[in-house]
Amino acid sequence: MNATPPQEPLDARDRPARLTVGVVGAGRVGPALAASLRLAGHRPVAVSGVSDASRRRAAALLPSVPLVPPAEVMARAELVLLTVPDDALPGLVEGLVETGSVRPGMLLVHTSGRFGADVLAPATRAGALPLALHPAMTFTGTAVDVQRLAGCSFGVTAPEELRLAAEALVIEMGGEPEWIEEAARPLYHAALALGANHLVTLVAQSMELLRTAGVAAPDRMLGPLLGAALDNALRSGDAALTGPVARGDAGTVAAHVAELRRHAPAAVAGYLAMARTTADRALANGMLKPELAEDLLGVLAEGDLR
């Protein structure tokens, strides 16, 4: 990542070790990544943000870095982080190109999990160097995010000639690069959403139900249990399955469904869907005996009918 001025022939390997960095979209991700790049010796020079929350985040994580319009961020920086919501990214890229904000030779990095480098094609045709660097991490918008990037995996997609540059940037931010083919990006992102986003929903629902059951500190009760379950699942996959569904305890599952209908009807559909998926996986790996599965699946089917 040696430097050449933007107007000179493009070769990521000839770029400077230290780059000026800009952020377009001061959500939870962009300021944290720019702060990590600053720790690696790069120099954040501009950030754009519209909402009061984004301006506060930028001020907290990138103090003294000026807040300017996106076009000015593009003009000031050699490396620009496009950290906007997935659905807004294609339009942003097209708009930056149409306004002449994209310079030949600039590194243009987006952090969308869904998209690879192809979404940056309009900017690539204008001479930008396209990188997709998606941190597999949830962000709070605070300084703790910078610490969490240490050891965080990044889904990396870029043209082959930029692969080393992309991976080097990830390593400089303290992350671990994981190469994702362009065509696999949507599946990769779906996997992360299934594991992380839905986990938050499940845990929040579980805490609400425990409070309804009279548990004063559901977080304290769930912490060790969920920590062990996660560790076991990461180590052993389906072999870590336990509980009434994996055992085929149809009566217990029926009691669960009845209580959920009484106290938390909004949770029933999710419980049934996850129980059915758990039963399928437990059957497939031999944990759930077929003779017990029949009654269990009957209970789940009856739950759907109601």
Pairing of strands 129-135, 107-110: parallel
131 touches 117 (CB < 8 A): yes
Within the chain, which residues score under 70 in pLDDT?
Answer: 1-17, 305-306
Residues 141 and 162 sit within 8 Å (Cβ to Cβ): no
pLDDT at 302: 85
Q: What pLDDT is stored for residue 15 in this prediction?
A: 44
Q: Are 89 and 119 in contact (CB under 8 A)?
A: yes
β-pairing, 129-135 vs 20-24, is unpaired
The span from the CA of 212 to the CA of 253, in Å, is: 19
- Residue pair 48/81 in contact (Cβ under 8 Å)? The answer is no
Residue 111, φ and ψ in degrees, nearest 5: -120, 20
**pLDDT reported for residue 17:** 61
- Report CA 209 to chain centroid distance, whole Å: 27
Return the structure tokens found at 22. 């800009």
Cα Dmax for the chain: 72
3-class secondary-structure state, position 43? strand
Q: What is the pTM of this model?
A: 0.86
Determine whether 213 is exposed, middle or buried from the number of CB atoms within 10 Å of its CB (0-12, 13-18, 19+): exposed
Q: Which runs of consecutive H residues, i.e. helices, occur in the chain?
A: 30-39, 52-61, 70-76, 89-98, 121-125, 144-148, 163-172, 185-192, 198-212, 218-236, 244-247, 250-263, 268-284, 290-305
Q: What is the pLDDT of residue 75?
A: 97
pLDDT computed for residue 306 by the predictor: 66
- 183 burial (CB, 10 Å; 0-12 / 13-18 / 19+) is exposed
